[in-house]
Chain A
Amino acid sequence: MTTATTAEVLGIRDLTVAFPDEQGQVSAVRGVSWSLRAGEVLGVVGESGCGKSATALAVMGLLPPGARVGGSVRFRDRELVGLRDDEMASVRGRSVAMVFQDPLSALNPVYSVGFQVAEAVRAHHPRLGREQAVERAIALLELVGIPNARDRAADYPHEFSGGMRQRVVIAIAMADDPDVIIADEPTTALDVTIQAQVLDALRTAREQTGAATMLITHDLGVVAGQADRVVVMYAGKVVESGTVEEVFYSPRMPYTLGLLGSLPRLDGREDARLTPIAGTPPPLDRPITGCAFAPRCPLARDVCRTEEPALVPVDGEHLAACHFSAELVGRRPQDVFPPRAAPAVDAVAANAVAVSAVAANAVAVGAVADGPVSGRPTPIITASSLVKHYRVRGTGLFRRDRGELHAVCDVSFDLSAGETLGLVGESGSGKSTIAKLLMSLEEPTGGGVLLDGRPLSPRGHARDLQIVFQDPMNSLDPRMTAADLVAEPLRINGAGRREARARALELLGSVGLSGARSERYPHEFSGGQRQRIGIARALALRPRVLVLDEPVSALDVSVQADVINLLEDLQDSLGLAYLFIAHDLSVVRHIADRVAVLYLGRVVETGDRDTVFDHPRHPYTRALVSAVPLPDPRKERARERIILTGDVPSPVNPPSGCRFRTRCPLHLGRLTDEQRSRCAGETPALLDGVACHWVER
């Protein structure tokens, strides 16, 4: 870095943000300071609710009315806190631009995309002609990689996919050549291959404008790959900051160390157990004395509870806020955060004996019905050639059928006791439809599912197969206590009141929610705890198979680790089979034994977990694996990324032949025309675990 680039463009000093509410106020940001230097990328990480967005909005002056802001934000020499709204308007877009999290709602549905970009171009140049502004807008759209930008500028936001919309938002941020771009979770809502495209567009924006970037994210992998320096926030404060190498390789604050340890890793070779951080961040609506992290910190001592640690240098520009940061030198997450033995799983283990007896029986039945050929145990579930089409209606005069939506196409797999099959794929790949087919919530168009070698009957399987959903809040009745929620399936299946209750309490104990907590209502639990209730409820009928549909994707990493560990423990003690559906490859790599990669309803690659992730063969799997950011700055920067072009095509009338061909680097690259025509004409069969005509075998 040259000396010029170390100049501060945006300086935040003792910034506070408070939201008044009925009881008093929520102190969302409790005095943060950092400086953003010219040309650099500063990563800001932390769990949900730690004040990342509030800080960003305070800089932009876009907090909702009523929010109270204190401290100082300086853009070069200009103080921004306390500016009138019209003065702030001259700063926004020109000096500091912002990219928001949710691309689907960020654009106005009633104006064309071109108009909305041109509007940003003209915001500070009112005298620029309408036509020139549109020309510039088209150029910007081209820069961020919108194909046929000239034609597409007239389209409306709903005609763009999420990834494309986010690129439009980035084009808007670039429009007036800002000096600072704040990107608040710019890729959180996107699939991983699309995330790679959007991060690429952000890099373009950076290069074109030379802007310094504040990249807010909870994804440590993204920070490792993109940022020069990083700030870690916790409960409205900065707890650590430094270069990415310093913070990732030698964290000096227990929270940072814990975060790194709770992260499942795509490159994690050994089956290291995750180290979750117990508990949840403190509520911000009452004063915090001492270190905010103390209730969750294994190193906490008396002084931590009374004296707040200051953010002080531990090594040059590496700052940390911990009384005992010196003790962290050279320690690994598992040294500091002892992996908790799941408390009461043993209590359930007694029951498990009975369950495994049933399972053993099933194996016997299965063996008779369908003799296993290989050394693999007899599957509990066998799905063969599952097909699911949905009809879509057209909009013509007589609404003829417009075609069929091919949600799932010829998907086969099996699942044995004690085993986890990971189902990965981007949105629209058919993951949840497969879950629904397994649960008989949908009728398959073709193929079928066997349970112990017999066709699934909609009623009979209820005990053996249970599902856990993504959003714990939506799947639990808010008017029932945790104990009632777990007892409900038992009661429905004829258990007596006292019996059901006793079992419910036992189950809640086994997922770590014992005692008085069993009488609380869903909204009184944290997200991770709610997901535990969901799991306890699914376990009530002693199923042998759990279908887990994105069970941890709504959770923060430290909490997610906790749920993953719980699932692993339950599997060990109960011999459960899991169908684990997730878009997060790192989580799947951590928990699954085998994986199947889906693309547009088809399995493109399947096999043993390590083989698929370490030596992906299908062009799609390769791109997918390469797109997952690793929370390791050196590795991440050394990696070569395969960035796919375009979006996933519509599952209505999908591409003929190989469905991946419209984005396949191999197909679009070195194949000859003759080879290409085979991709278009013939659907590649799943041979030896890979569905591609031209992969080296």
Chain B
Amino acid sequence: MLAYVLRRLLHTIPIVLVGSFVTFVMVSASGDPLGDLKAKQPPVSQAILDAEAHRMRLDQPLLERYWRWLTGILSGDWGPSVKRIDIGAEIWPRLLVSARLVTLAVLLALVLALVIGVVSAVKRYSAVDYAFTAVGFLLLSMPAFWLAVLLKQQAIELNQATGTTLVYTVGEASIPPPPGLWPTVLDVLGHVVLPTIVLAMTSFAPWSRFVRSSMIEVQQSDYVRLARAKGIKRRTVLVRHALRTALVPLTTVVALDLAVLFSGAVITETVFQWRGMGSFLLSSVRDKDIYAVMAWLLLVSLIVVVFNLIADLLYAVLDRRIRLG
């Protein structure tokens, strides 16, 4: 197992290196970080421009810039920012905010996918199954952005109608937070509800289809039949033998979808004006803030890589037939 983890990590290193180099080149070519400065009226002096170019390492060749960026990260230096922010200090809290959103969305999507997948597998070809199928495809075809705006609008109207703020539609928490622990928790929850729903909706539909089809397959398997032949109640067999086995491949599906979820988070956070990874990426792209964009890409890709590894390990623990190697 340990050897496997090490080998997987060793394999990952060249991929991350090559990937980061390619993105570095592409991001660097995407625009001039000093563009805004140069366009200023009245124009800023050449000396200032040169100093800024030097600070942004634009006076060095591309390869050297990449090397400095890479080695810098290893010592905690994320590189200079156009906006003169400390990228490292800025990104970590934002990562936590986004991770909270993605984690909750994954949990919600999993619960929904399991319930709906299992029910429609057990009641296959019933009205319930068809209804879930229809809803699933509706959600699949609905753009996350549109869903987000729709929900936000509904929530605003609800809040206006009731005259209280049941669910918040702006920000990830109130600033400043309300006094006391419970009010703070409730406040955070109130903020997180809508974005979580939006993000969960985009993933749960395909996951529930996946659960449904693997449940149907497993239910027809010989070992489920043998379990029933032992005299175990149908419901126990369903959970212990069918669901447990059907769940195993879901780990991989979820891990692979993580990248999609982070992209979805960008849209959701924008609509709900969260100070998360989403707005960080958007503003950095707008400002052509090369090192900030690189920081975002690197973090998200590392997260995806790590979770895929975890999913594979989990798979091997859940299903002993899998030999890691």
A binding-site residues for B, Cβ under 8 Å:
60, 62, 64, 85-86, 89-94, 97-98, 100, 102, 105-110, 119-120, 123-124, 156, 158-159, 169, 172, 175-176, 393-397, 399
Contacts and interface: CB of A to CB of B under 8 A. Distances in A.
Contacts of A156: 320-321
Contacts of A109: 223, 245, 319-321
Given A100-B229, A169-B226, 11 more contacts: A62-B225, A62-B229, A89-B231, A92-B228, A92-B231, A106-B226, A108-B227, A110-B244, A119-B227, A123-B232, A394-B325
Given A105-B221, A395-B325, A110 B230 contact: no
Contact of B229 (A90, A93, A108): A93
B222 A106 contact: yes
30 contacts: A62-B229, A86-B233, A86-B234, A89-B233, A90-B231, A91-B231, A93-B230, A97-B230, A98-B226, A100-B222, A105-B222, A105-B223, A106-B223, A106-B226, A107-B226, A108-B227, A108-B245, A109-B245, A110-B248, A110-B319, A119-B232, A120-B231, A156-B320, A156-B321, A158-B320, A159-B320, A172-B226, A394-B325, A395-B3, A395-B4
Give the secondary structure class of B's interface: helix
A389 B324 CA distance: 24
B241 interface: yes
B45 interface: no
A399 B223 contact: no
A106 B223 CA distance: 4
B317 to A, nearest CB: 10
A124 B232 CA distance: 8
Contacts of A94: 231
Given A395-B3, A397-B3, A397-B7, A123 B320 contact: no
Contacts of A86: 233-234
B318 interface: yes
A108 B233 CA distance: 16
Contacts of A393: 325
The CB with the most chain A CB atoms within 10 A, among B4, B220, B320, B321, is that of B320
| Range class of the B interface residue count | 20 to 34
Nearest to B224: A108
A210 B4 CA distance: 50
Contacts of B220: 64
Contacts of B40: none
The CB with the most chain A CB atoms within 10 A, among B6, B220, B321, is that of B321
B231 A93 contact: yes
Contacts of B225: 62, 100
Contacts of B221: 105
The CB with the most chain A CB atoms within 10 A, among B227, B231, B318, is that of B231
Nearest to A103: B222
Contacts of A60: 229
B12 to A, nearest CB: 15
A449 B224 CA distance: 48
Nearest to B248: A110
Contacts of B84: none
A573 B7 CA distance: 62
A176 B227 contact: no
B238 to A, nearest CB: 11
Contacts of B248: 110
A172 B230 contact: yes
Contact of B230 (A64, A85, A119, A394): A119
Contacts of B222: 100, 102, 105-106
A158 B319 CA distance: 10
A175 B248 CA distance: 29
Contacts of A64: 220
The CB with the most chain A CB atoms within 10 A, among B224, B228, B321, is that of B228
Contacts of A175: 230
A392 to B, nearest CB: 11
B226 A158 contact: no
A593 B230 CA distance: 48
A113 to B, nearest CB: 11
Contact of A110 (B6, B234, B245): B245
A582 B29 CA distance: 67
Given A108-B223, A109-B320, A158-B320, A85 B229 contact: no
B83 interface: no
Nearest to A96: B229
A166 to B, nearest CB: 12
A90 B241 CA distance: 18
A123 B230 CA distance: 7
